[in-house]
Amino acid sequence: MAGPIPERAQVVIIGGGVIGLSTAYHLTKQGWSDVVLLERHQLTSGTTWHAAGLITSAGMTDEASLEMSIYSRELYARLEEETGLSTGFRRCGHLHVATTPTRVEAMRREAAYAKRFGQESHEIGPSEIAELWPLAETSDLLRGFYVPVEGRANPHDVAMSLAKGARQGGAKIIEGTPVTGVTRVRDRVTGVVTAQGTISCEVVVLAAGIWSRQFGDTIGVRVPLQAAEHYYLITEPFEGVHPDLPVLEDPATYGYFREETGGLLVGLFEPEAAAWQPDAIPTDFAFGEIEPDWERISPFVDLAMSRIPGLRSVGVRKFFCGPESFTSDVHPLLGEVPELRGFFAATGLNSLGILLGGGVGNVMAEWIVSGQPPLDLTGFTIDRTSPHESTPAFRRDRTPEQLGVLFGDAVAPGWTPKSARGVRRSPVHERLVRYGVRFDTTTGWEWGDFFAGLHEPVPDVIQSWDRQGWWSLVEAEHRAVREAVGLLDMSFMCKFWVQGRDAGAVLDRIVVSDALNSPVGKVVYTAICHDGGGMWVDCTFTRIADDCYVVIGTDLVHRRLEALLRRAVGEEDAATVTDVTAGFALFSVQGPQSRQLLSRLTSADVSNEALGYLTGRHLDVAYAPATWVQRVTYVGELGYELHVRSDLALGVYDALFEAGDDLGLRNVGMSALNGLRIEKGYRDYGHDIGNDDTPLEAGIGFIVDWDKPDFPGRAALLKQRDGGPLTERLVNLVVLDPEPLLWHDEDVLCDGVVVGEVEAGAYGYSLGGAVAIATVRCESGVTAAWLSAGSFSVEVNGRRYPVRAQLGPLYDPKRERILA
């Protein structure tokens, strides 16, 4: 088994499941053949050997998942020609069925989204479903969505075919060789340690499946995933089952069904699953099974059987429970880890490792070779996760919810996780509760979605694309900001101090703007790009003292921004980076009355002359001395950001409300913020912009200092700037009919032809219609002239509505209020 190991390699991959093997295969395709894959036991012995092999993109509404799943499918279809080993891929079709109108709409929207990637789906009624699946109970089915090009594969055969392809490309695959550690020089990995010796290398890829977290723990790298029980059963052969039956997926019974040696394989995605071995996965677990928990699982078996009544009279040949890894948001953990340079994760596949595996390996290989992700992976990178996700308590509490989420519990807008809530709270959390907040959560933070008002009950939010009880509340918050003053608690934003004699030089090394010569008090909106010109983050920095800058980004980029800043500090630099997120609340006070409100709480002069637009100063605010206040807006109004020490934050919050009552001060949640900022055309990283957008494509080219001699991405950005009009870029649009709502992913059309998609949508109460930031494409260039010449529309759930699309902000009449 264990062969001799080489002394060095360019890349070492830890783990011989589908993900490690696919990464090895694709690295050789990129021309990197000096690849060694080390497998603890035998190839596929972790999770890959027992997967059900569904090959589908059902339920996917993001570019990365769709690209990777479609790529995987087509790779598995052709791999045999190259390697001589079949993957067992069979295009038997995939049928997704719905029993409720909400789910029908969800699937219809998914189908429209997938069409953009060339995937045709056929919407069919119960009688056509019955023709495709005569064994299924169809009386309660409303619609089905049938994709003929999808199907199933044999996971073990997929892995072996990839292994053969990797070997043909020069990769060495060594079994029976557990990796026990890594070697490093400072923050860079330099090799892996095994019982047979050390292999020195430049890059390590952790593809150790359910073992990844505990391996990460041993080397100080957080890989927040958790194994959960995952079930299927296989029946004896029975009448009417044949290999060309489409895979049937039925969220209503939490079941999926496909042929297996003449019988049916019935898989379960129960709504409340069970974490497996949260303390540690046994290291000798190989080709292993978990003892089924009959009591917990049998009600779901019964439910699944109700979809195929014939199952009740057929014998069960095998009842199987195996472990699979799940993450806090059911997206994989990919990319370079923030803690260790050169160390990449490719793990946490949430039961989609086979159907995504080809694509994941392809993306990982391109990323490793080129230094940047080939598509928008903002929601997939391991650095989006937060440290609390690794705690046993969080994994224990969150993991059971995840199987259900994956199978469609989060079907429409309005869904928010139920488990493991209240992890990170603003210092004024309890005040927000008193004001009737509806909380939502990302990165563990509880943030206000909207407010019912003081001591008012919070209306229920059901999952829906329509208006609900929150509608008038969000509208009132929106109008407060436009007409009076609103307070947005944005304490979740990540905040760093870069301090020391060389702080300016350190920051200047990485941002696209001039940080070195930025005067004290000037607020600068900027970005940090990779060499391809795409943005790793957008953020603001302000020099708050000669030797101190505060850098602020959204919560999603917290760990990434921290890593970028820390890595920018050279050995010779006199500079430190301090995460001050928890030390300061961030209150954004916005609206025409905001200056009046602030002036009531401070002894300082806050006139336009003393505190101009995009400047900041230390002021006393109520009982909070020397509070950093900067004049900046994310909604297009006169407004201020108050960075209040956490211990003083509650006092300042109360003082603001005491002083702001007659000015119309309201709490404002993130739903209202979304509409306000989209009206003004402000971008939101992780929603409408990501790692594949350059500042020019995002419409924020003004942040680039073209006179700056060097910064990451400069050459690529210059080339793009001078290369003629952009053929793809973000635009702002407003729907002319007041009724339809936009959320995300809706098609954008020009003269009846699809030219793009909505990235983020909301309602623009000031404009009386839905507003959005959308990506559009035009071969001759996305220009103001093209936008005004064309007849633009959006397609919402099958209906088209005219829109106005433009490069500039949709709403800007109060410009003088921002500046003066």
Interface residues with ligand FAD (CB under 6 A)? 14-20, 38-41, 45-48, 50-54, 155, 178-179, 207-211, 215, 230, 232, 322, 324, 347, 349, 351-355
Q: How far is the CB of 17 from ligand FAD (least distance, A)?
A: 2
* Rounded Cα gap, residues 209 and 348, in angstroms: 7
Cα separation, 243 vs 264, whole angstroms: 10
Phi, psi (5° rounding) for residue 759? Answer: -90, -45
Torsions phi, psi of 326, nearest 5? -125, 150
Residues in a beta bridge with 96 = 145, 249
Residue environment code for 191-205, b if the CB has 16+ CB neighbours within 10 A, otherwise e: bbebeeebbebbbbb
- Closest approach, Cβ 805 to ligand FAD, in A, equals 38
Rounded to a whole number of angstroms, the minimum distance from the CB of residue 284 to ligand FAD is 10
Q: Contact 770/762 with Cβ under 8 angstroms?
A: yes
- Residue 536 structure tokens: 């790793």
Judged by CB, which is closer to ligand FAD: 401, or 555?
401
* Min CB(781)–ligand FAD separation in Å: 40
Q: Which is nearer to ligand FAD, 54 or 704 (CB)?
A: 54
Q: Which is nearer to ligand FAD, 347 or 588 (CB)?
A: 347
Q: How far is the CB of 643 from ligand FAD (least distance, A)?
A: 42
318 secondary structure, DSSP code: E
Which letter, b or e, does each residue of 25-36 get, where b requires 16 or more Cβ atoms within 10 Å of its Cβ? bbbbbeebbbbb
Distance CA 229, CA 400 (A): 9
Q: For ligand FAD, which is the closer residue by CB, 39 or 440?
A: 39
State in angstroms the smallest separation of the CB of 395 from ligand FAD.
17
d(CA 713, CA 717): 6
| Cβ atoms within 10 Å of 282's Cβ, excluding its own | 9
Q: At a CB cut-off of 8 Å and minimum separation 6, what does 391 contact?
A: none
Residue corresponding to tokens 């540690």: 280
Percentages helix, strand, coil for the chain, rounded to the nearest 5? Answer: 30, 30, 40
Tell the smallest beta-carbon distance from residue 160 to ligand FAD (Å): 12
Distance CA 461, CA 469 (A): 7
| 3-state secondary structure at position 2 | coil
Tell me the DSSP string of 446-486. Answer: EEEEEE--TTPPPPP--S-SS--TTHHHHHHHHHHHHHSEE
Which of 634, 619, 529 has the alpha carbon at shortest distance from 589? 634
**CB 320 to ligand FAD: min, Å:** 6
Closest to ligand FAD by CB, 16 or 675:
16
Q: Which tokens in the block code for residue 98?
A: 């719905």
- DSSP assignment letter at 408: I
State the nearest-atom distance from the C-beta of 153 to ligand FAD, in Å: 8
User: Looking at beta carbons only, is 227 or 506 nearer to ligand FAD?
Assistant: 227
Q: What are phi and psi of 357, to 5 degrees?
A: -55, -45
Q: How far is the CB of 176 from ligand FAD (least distance, A)?
A: 9
- Provide φ and ψ at 580, rounded to 5°: -105, 20
Task: Give least dist CB 325 to ligand FAD, A.
Answer: 7
Name the minimum Å distance from CB 698 to ligand FAD.
33
In angstroms, what CA-CA distances link 289 with 276, 302, 458, 768? 11, 22, 45, 57
Q: Going by DSSP bridges, is the β-strand pair 54-55/151-152 parallel, antiparallel, or unpaired?
A: antiparallel
Is the distance from CB of 633 to CB of 590 less than 8 angstroms?
yes
Compute the least distance from the CB of residue 105 to ligand FAD, in Å.
Answer: 26
- Decide if 341 contacts 188 (C-beta within 8 A): yes
Residue that the structure tokens 């994956």 belong to: 406
- The values of phi and psi at residue 218, to 5°, are -70, -15
- Residue placing its CB nearer to ligand FAD in the complex, 268 or 787: 268
Strand pairing report for 226-235 and 316-326 = antiparallel
Whichever of 126 and 292 has its CB closer to ligand FAD, that residue is 292
- Report in angstroms the alpha-carbon separations of 453 from 450, 482, 665: 9, 18, 12
Specify the residue for token string 């500079």: 575
For the CB of residue 175, give the shortest distance to ligand FAD in the complex, in Å: 9
CA distance 791 to 641: 40
Half-sphere exposure of 646 (CA within 13 A, CB side): 12
Query: Of 267 and 521, which CB lies nearer to ligand FAD in the complex structure?
Result: 267
Residue (178 or 740) nearer to ligand FAD, CB: 178
Q: How far is the CB of 192 from ligand FAD (least distance, A)?
A: 9
To ligand FAD, the closest distance from the beta carbon of 275 in angstroms equals: 13
Residue-level length of the chain: 820
Name the residue nearer to ligand FAD (CB basis): 353 or 713. Answer: 353
Query: Among residues 88, 99, 93, 101, which one has the least CA distance to residue 131?
Result: 93
To ligand FAD, the closest distance from the beta carbon of 50 in angstroms equals: 6
